Structures are given as C-alpha cells and as structure tokens.
Structure 1
Amino acid sequence: MKKLSNTVLATACCYSSLVAAQTTNLNEILVTASRTAQSVDETLASVTLITRKDIERSQAITVADILQKTPGVMITNRGGIGKSSSIFLRGTSSKNSLIVIDGIRVGSATLGQVSVEELNLSQIERIEIVRGPRSSLYGSDAAGGVIQIFTRRGAGRLTPSFTISAGSDGTSLAEVGLQGGDQNRWFNVTASGITTDGFDAKTTGNIDDDGYHNQGLHLRLGQRFDGGHELEGFFSITDSESEYDDFSSDRSDTLTKVMGASGTFAVSDMWLVNVSAGRSWNKTKAFSGSAFKSRHETVRDSFTIQNDLLISDDNQLIFGLDYINDQIDTNNAYVVTDRNNWAGFAQYQLTLGKSDLQFSARVDDNEQFGSYTTGGIAWGIPLNNNLKLVTSYGTAFKAPSFNDLYYPSDAYGGGNADLVPEESDTFELSLRGKYQDVNWQASLYQTTFKDMIAWAPSPTVLYPYRWLPSNINSARIRGLELSADYQWQQWLLSGNLSFLDPEVRSGANKGNRLARRADRILNLNLDRNFGALTLGATLHAEGRRYTSDSNTSSLEGFGTVDLRATYQLAPAWQVRAKLSNLLDKQYQTISGYNQAGSTALFTLAYQPQ
C-alpha cells in the first residue's frame, strides 16, 4: 500500500470502472478483499482475479470450469454440466465460501450455500476470489473466503454481440447481447441459453443420459452524476431443468433471480458513502418421472451502508452496517422458516514506515444464535522493491442452514436442531514477489475449526443410505499454495500447485482426513499468440481423496488435458475450438458419479470492440 488513495473520489471511480486485463497486473484494482478499492499489489490477502478475457480465452462453459483452475479451489460434481457441484476453498466446505454478485449476497437458505452449477457464465464480466477468512468484514459463510462475481457492464457506442457454440453430448450454447454508454451512463443486456443431452451421470441405477437445459437474462444499467455520485441497478434470472438419478427423484426445475441497486455518494473529498440493497430468490421443484416430490423456495433480502473515511493519505477507516433476512417456503414442515442477522463492521488501514497494517472487526447479531464477534489483522512488510512478506490472522463463524437444523427426517436423512454455529481461526504467512516478468506467490496457512458442521452416513437396518449432520468437535486444515505467471513476447504461462492436509481432530475419526478433499491440486496453462491464431493448453490434476471421514474407501487421483484454439477471422469475428479431457480419462470427484470423457466444442463469436 503505497498510499491508500489520493482521494475518496478516486476510490469511488475504482468501484465503478473495473476493467478486464489479459494478464496478471499488480496494479489491477480489486474491491472484495477489504470492501474498498485496492490494487493487487496493495491487498494483504491472497487473491485471484479472473477477467472476461480470461473466461473467453479458456472457453469455459460453466463457472465451476473456470474456478477450478485457480489456486486453492477444488470442485466436486455429480455428473457433468448442471449437476450439483460444491466448492472447496482451501479445504473448507461450500458453506464456508461466501458468493456475492455485484455486492449482493446470494444462495439458498435451505442448503446454506450457492448452487454454483446454476451461475450463468455468460453474464459475468469478472470474478474476484479472496482466499482466507473474511468473516470480520462479511460475517457468516466466509471462513474459507469470498468469491465476488461482477456482471457485465456496458461501455462505449451502442454495440450488439452474439456467440453460438455446439459440441459433444448434444451440447449447444447461444448468447446475444447489447451494450452501450459513455463516461456518465452505461447499460448491458444479455440473453443466453445452454442445452445438453449429457451422459449417464450415475454409475448405478438407470442407464440413460442425464441432460440439462438453462435459459438466462441479465440487465445492468447505471448513471454517474456531478460531484462523484452514482446510481446503479441490475437484474438477472436463470431458469433451468436438470435430469439425474437419485434415490427419490430424477429431475429438478430451478428458478434463480437476483436483483440489486446501489448508490455511491461523495459527502466530501474525504468521505464516501456506499449504500446497496438486494434480493435473491431460489425456487426448486423435484420430480420422479411426472410425479411431484418436493418444493423449496428461499428468499434472501440484504441491505448495506458503508462509509469510507480517508483520515490521511496513509490512513483509512471503513465502517458500516449489514442486514440479512432469510425466508423459506417448502412443502415440508420446518420448525423455523425465517431469521435475520444484523451486523456492524469496521476496518482500519494504515501505513507505518514501509509496512502496511489492516485491522478489522465485526459483531453479528443472529436472531437464532445470538451475538458473534469476529476479527482480523494483517501486516505487510516489503523486504525489497520486488519482494513482500504478509502475515495475517482471522476468525470466522458459520451459522447452521435451515436444512442442517430442520430438514424433515425421512429414509435419507434429517436435520439436527441441536447444532451450534461452527467457529474457526486461521493463520497465514505468504511471500509474494516479482522477478523480471514472473509474478509469484507462496502461501502457508492453517485453519482450526471448533464444532465444524458435517453431514455423515448414519445407516440403519431400515435406512441404509441415511445421512445426518453433527458438530465435529475439532478439525484442522493445513495447506501450502504456490502460484506464478509469466509473459514473454507472445507466450503466456501460468500455474499453481496446492497441497492440503485436512484432518479430523476429535471423535471416532480422530486422525483421519476430512472427506472429499484432494491432497494435491495442480494447474498449468500455456497460451501462444501467432497473430490471428491463438493456441492454448491446460493440465489439471488432483490427488487422492477419501469418500467419508471414516477413510474406509477412497477415489484415486486423476489428470486431464484440454486443448483450445481461437482464430480472429476479422476484427469483430472469432472462431474457437476446444477439446476437453483429450486423453478420455475416466474419473470421479464424488463416489458413484461419472465425469465427462473426451468432448469437443466449436464456437462462432461476433464481438465488436
């Protein structure tokens, strides 16, 4: 942190003018790590930025595709596109990874997490991933980190665009958009659709293809006024149908909607006020054949007011209030169907000599579980012009979801009303630097959980597949992340390697590894530009994992290779091709669920600059 900001108005500009870049840039602006604008070089957290150009270069179809290539992220999936997926960020569960869209908290209140398979990649401009606890700024759900998605935002002259793709397993995608604006106003509207016949998702049961169909619409618009004030709003909707093989159902219809509005008001050159409010809906119906089985609807309302106060060039205070209300409506009987959470938070950033310091604290008042206080401290020490040492400590908590607590007991499981919130603390030590054109970082961390919530098999003679949640008394996750990227002339090389040691520290499974976490993850990306033609390749590999905390069975590690090519036919026209899992590797990330074999995808894109 050379200086926190020249003025608070400059910070406001950073909030609204986030732009994409082709390669890692230490001056790239992020807002998620500290809830205010900072460059990658200034932030005292481990962060990854994914731009729209990164998404298009990778030719990813889903958000999970692009996330799993980043440091510390592992994705498990139940059988291909549109099937239930989970994010393990630094070994923590999906329920400990907070996902935010344009500043609005999203997710299912019953599941207690975001259905990442329903996130629409065509609507996304950029993704910021912050690894490590952020409960002291964001509250519950952020023990593992925060993933903030910024939707597409118009700029420049009125411009239409479209993309069409077709490939293996009867897969096709289409996207059409219109954007425009100038320095003081902007808008973007994007409609998209994806359909696939899929493949047989489950290794047992019905032998059939399990398809997925999705349609989405996104709108975002904003206005900048004299004096540094801004207003902005967005709305997105996704309607999907997924086929699968399960014990009680084989098809689900899911409707997700997110709506948000925000305002940035410059009270003075030293004081900026940000206000945002939003609502997210999640509605899912499950069927067995044509027979209705279940319905779950959740609504999450949120409101935030945040003050950014610049005390001096090297001192900034951030403070504010958060409000969240969750409501559920299902065909099942839940004991509690509504709860709210009020919170106050503050963060102080300062520079002492050449060192940067950051202190943060938050108090959450949860309607069901009472008050929880979390905090964080980080210290960045430049060792020389190209080398920086960062050490940090943070605490976090996670409130049980409605399903964790009250899911009606049946043959397949049930909730546990005696659950208490899980608590955790994390130490991290990272070294980051730049050598010639190589940007690199090494991070060592340890997270200790108290009362970790975990669903585990609890079979009986009558119900052999029954699962129940409980508070594991103690668990510990240790990890090491290594990442680097290098650009030389027309070559771009990047890679990351993660080592994970997640351990149960109490109970009958003490000393065993936590389930479903791979012990190693490797990603290597190589791209080369030949003028109009760009070629690229990705290697993704994961190590062995156990299927349960009892460690009685495991899944072997695997590696896949993807190849891709893009050819610029004309300034606005591109053709793209991608071969995924080139070597047709057969593997599973969840026991009993297949993953796609070798597939191809071909794309035609019209994108005027």
Structure 2
Amino acid sequence: MKKLSSSVLVTACCYTSLVAAQQSSLFSTDSTTISTSHLNEILVTASRTAQSVDETLASVTLITRKDIERSQAITVAEILQKTPGVMITNSGGIGKASSIYLRGTSTKDLLILIDGIRVGSATLGQVSVEDLNLSQVERIEIVRGPRSSLYGSDAAGGVIQIFTRRGTGKLTPSFTVSAGSDGTSSVEVGVNGGDESRWYNVSASGLTTDGFDAKTSGDSDDDGYHNQGLQLKLGQRFDGGHEVEGFFSVTDSENEYDGFTDRGDTRTQVLGARSTLEIAEAWRINLSAGRSSNQSKTFSGNTFNSRYETTRDSFSVQNDLLIGDDNQLVFGVDYLNDQIESSKIYAETERDNWAGFAQYQLTLGQSDLQFSARVDDNEQFGSYTTGGIAWGMPLTDNLDMVVSYGTAFKAPSFNDLYYPNSGNAALVPEESDTYELSLRGNVQGINWQTSLYQTTFENMIAWAPDSSGDWAPSNINEARIRGLELSADYQWQQWLLSGNVSFIDPENRSGANKGNRLQRRADKIANISVDRDFGALSLGTTLHAESRRYTSDSNTSFLAGFGTVDLRASYQIAPVWQVRAKLSNLLDKEYQTVSGYNQSGSTALLTLAYQPQ
C-alpha cells in the first residue's frame, strides 16, 4: 500500500481543480496514467483531500475528458453506465427521467456534486440525471460506498463529483458538431487558456433530438428533447500557494413525453467560488461557497400544470493540517440551506443544516488508516452522527488489501415530509451501515480490483396506509444489499482492454415482501471494452449486459435481461481536426429498463471536432 505523499497532502485542497493540481510544481506525484484505471491521477472526492487513485482507501473510478471523447457518449448517464456497480434506468431515451442505482442503492442515496457544490431537487430528494450536461464536464470522480461521515445526507450509496472544464495553455478555441439518428444533433463551441498562475474557460453547447415514441402505449408520436448550456470558469493562483476560482454553469432543457402532462421545462444553475489560503507550510484553509438552483415547470399542451423551484445555498470551511511526514488531520464546518417555491402549498419551505466534520489519515508501519466522523444538525430532523474507518495494507509487492466500515443516513425530502395531502412530517432519516473488503493488484501488467460489500438499511421510506387508511411515506422498510465487484484493465502496445462485472443481491428484509429482490435492480451487470490505435485511426467496441429485474417488490413480474454492442471509430484527418463515428445498439436489441418505456434501437452518430492542442 502506497504511503500518503506529504507533498500531496500539503497542497491538498477540497474541490480544487484536478488539472491545476497536476500542473502545480508543489505536487511531486507523477501524472502519467496507467491504462484506464488512472492509478497515478489525483482525485479529491473520496477523502476531501488530494490523493492518487491507488492511495485512496475507497472503491473509486475516474473518468477523464479523454475517456469521454473516446467513448463518444453524449449524456452523463451514458458514460456512467459503463463503470463498475452502476445501473441506469431510463424512461424513453435522451432527456427522459433517469435514475442511477449505485451498488443497488437508489438515486436518493447518491450525492452528486458539481465543482464541490451540492446539486439536486430538495422536493424530489435527488438529481435529475438526464439534464446533466456532458459537454461541460472535464472529469468525473465516482466513489462507491458510504461517505456521510464526510458529506452528510444523500451519500449512503456513494458520491459522484463532476468537475467542469477549465483552460490551460495559450488562448485556444474549440468546436464540435454531431448529427445522427432520430434527428439527433449537437454543437459545442468554446475558448480556453491559462498558465500556472491563471486559467479560464468559456463554452456553450446545444443538444436536440426528435427522439422516438417513449411509451409502449398511449400516444404514438416521437418524444423529443432539447438542451442548451453555458459554462464559465476563471481562476488565479498567487504567490505563496493562495488560489481563488469562480465558476458558473446553466442548462435549459425542454422535454416532451406522453401522459396527462406532456411537456416539461427545466433550468439548472450552479454558481460557486472557492479560495485556498496557505497559512503555513503544513496548514491550508479551503473556503467554498455556492448556490445551485433547479426550476421546473410542467404543461398539458400549452396549459400550465405545475411549478417547482429549489435553491440550495452552501458554505464550507475546511482545514488541512499535515502532522509529521505522513499523517494529516482534516476538519471543518459545512452549512446548507434549502428553499423551495412551488405552485403547490407546502407546510414548510426552508430548512438549514449545520455540520462539523473531522478526518484523520495516518501511516503505521506498512498500513494506512483513515478515521472520519461528522455531526449534522438539521432543523427538521435534529442531530445525526455518522462515522467511518478504513485500513489498507500491502499483502505482497503486487497485492494490497483495504477493509472499511461506514455509517450513513438519508434525510427525508420536502415531498416526503410536506407534499400536500400525502406528506408525513413525522419521518426520520433512513439509516445504513456498510462493510467492505477490497483486494487490488497488478499481474503482468493487468491492473485489477475486487470488492465484497454489504449494506444494511433501516427506517427506509416507503408508501403505506396510515391510521386513517390514507397512503403516505412511512419508515417501515428494511433492506440488505450484498455485492461483489470485479474490474480489470490491460494495455499492451496499442491495445487497451478493460472490463468489469457486478453481482448484486438487493434483498427486501421486512413486511410481506421479505426475502424478495428490491424492484428495478438487476443482479448482474457486465461491461467489456476493447480499443485499438492504428496511427491516426482508432477503433473500439463496448459490450454492456444486464440481467433481468423485477418491476415490483412483490416480484410477480419482471423485465428481461439484455445486452448491447456499441462500435466507435475516430480518425485524425489533420493535427487539429478529428472525425468520429459511433454505432450504438448495433444488433438493434429491443429492451426496457423501466416497464412500459421503450429504449432506442440501433442508432448512428457522426462527429466533427476542431481541437487545437
């Protein structure tokens, strides 16, 4: 097990740009990537401090901009779907309602951050994954397993942090245009630049598709989707290691679907700033503040139906203290304020959450240890304490072991508590604890990892009749999720091979459905990717497969399993010009991930990119 690097720890900054971190002369870590695992790349989400991938005491996946461009994905859900432990459900194509099941936990148990800012709807209690704008993304960090002891509510299943794009080098314009099946087209244009002292990026994008008939019944028409986005980022590094950065992103979308309401308009904004202060050689203070907002309206034809607006203001102060050569203490305070406005009348429309957290990372002999704890004080459900512990050690020169335990919780959403005529203000947070054992190694150039875990949930919120016979959310369910993940990658000459398989046993542990599998979860997921460079030409293919899933907790009906094959190619026609082509669902497989909603058949996408280096 690699020791904590003191040069990394001294310069660690929660939410700092990873690109800037790798450019800084204060970092001694080699930024060379090793195949698709990016073992020496720096990430911050797992511990709120900078660590290389192979130093983290958590199961993590890093997706870089290069990975995104190689895959030719056009949505965040599409690129996430190929990572270990991730299953995506979708209600009818691009832009339609989607959910992320990470290790069998629901979307509500997943915390999503954009540049360190908590996003999502406080009414729904989750993020609208379908509206996340992939064109704005520089990199994605995925942490599997509980992180409530560092981030609070929503992180029972894990954390996904999205870092938006930023500039480096001389002033550089870029341009990408794509066109394909189902009337799908997109365009991205931007300009960026910077050096070791400053950086900037301005980019705009548009995505539109005519779509296809999303539902298997009802109206027989195409259900389109349209998305426009703008992103700005500007930063400055000063003498003495001080930094300041500001960022803003906005996405507007219009969605067409079948039902009583048949159109939805959504705007998502994230505004944030961060600052790092080098107080002493071994002490750094990280400050961050931001506002995320989610505004949605639904219509029946041209008739207004409903409006929901969520505003989330957050502020964080974090101290990173280096103790000796290899130990580090991290502590700080987080603040979150949720406010909602709606055409519906809620009994409460605002709540505050204050939290204090601490983490200690230390090295004892060949072992790395990490202890973390957090206390959240929420004005609606009171005080809640979570904790975590992890231990990593080398078993041989090429084999490491990590053992961890963590507790987590999920606060009820405004809809759970106060939705008119159905909310339950007496709800308490869902609780969970997770045990995990991981082995990591390298055998003749093959980087591999296997993880065995178990998560137990109590007080899960589910709909049930109350004392008056009316249905409302209640803390009645319990569940146990066991799983095994295996992943590996190998690079040989110009070949790049990677794959992962997940075995998940998400079991209901209460009520009439005790012993049944939780609905909508596949119990087997597999991904295999092969890429090959032939000079200017690159070819690749990906196989994705999922087993069947039940459509109800009673397990009386199910959706069949499926497998899809994607092909991709790119050709560097000039130093700054590249043409790309992708065939998705090559075998035209018919399948559903949500009962009653179609998925696209075989589709093609052609892309022309202008990307000066």
Regarding TM over 0.5, the answer is: yes
Mapping of residues 375-454 of structure 1, within 5 Å: 375-409=387-421, 414-454=422-462
Q: Where does residue 513 of structure 1 map in the other structure?
A: 517
- Pairing partner for 2:134 from 99, 121, 141: 121
Q: Where does residue 316 of structure 1 map in the other structure?
A: 328
Q: Where does residue 235 of structure 1 map in the other structure?
A: 248
- Indicate the SS of the match to 2:182: coil
Q: Where does residue 532 of structure 1 map in the other structure?
A: 536
Q: Where does residue 194 of structure 2 map in the other structure?
A: 181
Q: Where does residue 257 of structure 1 map in the other structure?
A: 269
| 1:417 Cα deviation from its structure 2 partner | 2.9
- Pairing partner for 2:476 from 472, 478, 481: 472
Aligned length: 599
Question: In structure 2, how many angstroms separate the alpha carbons of the residues matched to 1:300 and 1:573?
Answer: 41
Q: CA-to-partner distance for each residue in 1:485-510, whole Å, 9 max, x for gaps? A: 00000000000000010111111111
| 1:548 Cα deviation from its structure 2 partner | 1.2
Q: CA-to-partner distance for each residue in 1:562-591, whole Å, 9 max, x for gaps? A: 000000001110000000000011100010
Residues 26 and 40 of structure 1 are in contact (CA less than 8 Å); yes or no, is this contact kept in structure 2? yes
Q: Where does residue 105 of structure 1 map in the other structure?
A: 118
1:208 maps onto 2:205 in alignment: no
Question: In structure 1, how many angstroms separate the alpha carbons of the residues matched to 2:497 and 2:4?
Answer: 31
- Indicate the SS of the match to 2:135: helix
| 1:457 Cα deviation from its structure 2 partner | 11
The 3 A distance-change label for structure 1 pair 455 and 211 is: farther
1:191 maps onto 2:204 in alignment: yes
- Pairing partner for 2:178 from 165, 168, 178: 165
| 1:161 Cα deviation from its structure 2 partner | 0.3
- Indicate the SS of the match to 1:23: helix
The 3 A distance-change label for structure 1 pair 8 and 71 is: closer
Q: CA-to-partner distance for each residue in 1:539-569, whole Å, 9 max, x for gaps? A: 0000011111111111110000000000000
Residues 499 and 520 of structure 1 are in contact (CA less than 8 Å); yes or no, is this contact kept in structure 2? yes
- Pairing partner for 2:356 from 327, 341, 344: 344
- Indicate the SS of the match to 1:198: strand
Q: CA-to-partner distance for each residue in 1:5-40, whole Å, 9 max, x for gaps? A: 236543358853258957323211110000000111
Residues 9 and 328 of structure 2 are in contact (CA less than 8 Å); yes or no, is this contact kept in structure 1? no
| 1:182 Cα deviation from its structure 2 partner | 1.0
Question: In structure 1, how many angstroms separate the alpha carbons of the residues matched to 2:367 and 2:460?
Answer: 35
| 1:379 Cα deviation from its structure 2 partner | 0.3
Question: In structure 2, how many angstroms separate the alpha carbons of the residues matched to 1:340 and 1:320?
Answer: 17
Q: Where does residue 88 of structure 1 map in the other structure?
A: 101
- Pairing partner for 1:502 from 489, 499, 506: 506
- Indicate the SS of the match to 2:104: coil
Q: Where does residue 160 of structure 2 map in the other structure?
A: 147
| 1:41 Cα deviation from its structure 2 partner | 1.1
Counterpart of 1:238, as a letter, is T
Question: In structure 1, how many angstroms separate the alpha carbons of the residues matched to 2:9 and 2:149?
Answer: 23
Question: In structure 2, how many angstroms separate the alpha carbons of the residues matched to 1:240 and 1:14?
Answer: 27
- Indicate the SS of the match to 1:513: coil
Q: Where does residue 39 of structure 1 map in the other structure?
A: 52
Question: In structure 2, how many angstroms separate the alpha carbons of the residues matched to 1:166 and 1:62?
Answer: 14
Residues 9 and 50 of structure 2 are in contact (CA less than 8 Å); yes or no, is this contact kept in structure 1? no
Residues 8 and 269 of structure 1 are in contact (CA less than 8 Å); yes or no, is this contact kept in structure 2? no
The 3 A distance-change label for structure 1 pair 457 and 175 is: farther
| 1:136 Cα deviation from its structure 2 partner | 0.2
Q: Where does residue 4 of structure 2 map in the other structure?
A: 3
Q: CA-to-partner distance for each residue in 1:165-216, whole Å, 9 max, x for gaps? A: 0000000000000001111000001100000000000111111100000000
Q: Where does residue 274 of structure 1 map in the other structure?
A: 286
Q: Where does residue 75 of structure 1 map in the other structure?
A: 88
The 3 A distance-change label for structure 1 pair 592 and 80 is: same
- Indicate the SS of the match to 1:137: helix
Residues 380 and 388 of structure 1 are in contact (CA less than 8 Å); yes or no, is this contact kept in structure 2? yes
Question: In structure 2, how many angstroms separate the alpha carbons of the residues matched to 1:321 and 1:301?
Answer: 14
Counterpart of 1:331, as a letter, is S
Question: In structure 1, how many angstroms separate the alpha carbons of the residues matched to 2:229 and 2:405?
Answer: 40
TM-score where L is the length of structure 2? 0.95
Identity of aligned residues (%): 77
- Indicate the SS of the match to 2:6: coil
Question: In structure 2, how many angstroms separate the alpha carbons of the residues matched to 1:173 and 1:456?
Answer: 44
Residues 48 and 150 of structure 2 are in contact (CA less than 8 Å); yes or no, is this contact kept in structure 1? yes
The 3 A distance-change label for structure 1 pair 456 and 531 is: farther
| 1:468 Cα deviation from its structure 2 partner | 4.9
1:221 maps onto 2:234 in alignment: yes
- Pairing partner for 1:523 from 521, 527, 530: 527
| 1:467 Cα deviation from its structure 2 partner | 7.8
Give me the CA root mean square deviation. Answer: 1.7
Question: In structure 1, how many angstroms separate the alpha carbons of the residues matched to 2:400 and 2:527?
Answer: 24
- Indicate the SS of the match to 1:241: strand
Unaligned runs of 5+ in 2: 24-30
1:58 maps onto 2:59 in alignment: no
Counterpart of 2:255, as a letter, is S
1:490 maps onto 2:494 in alignment: yes
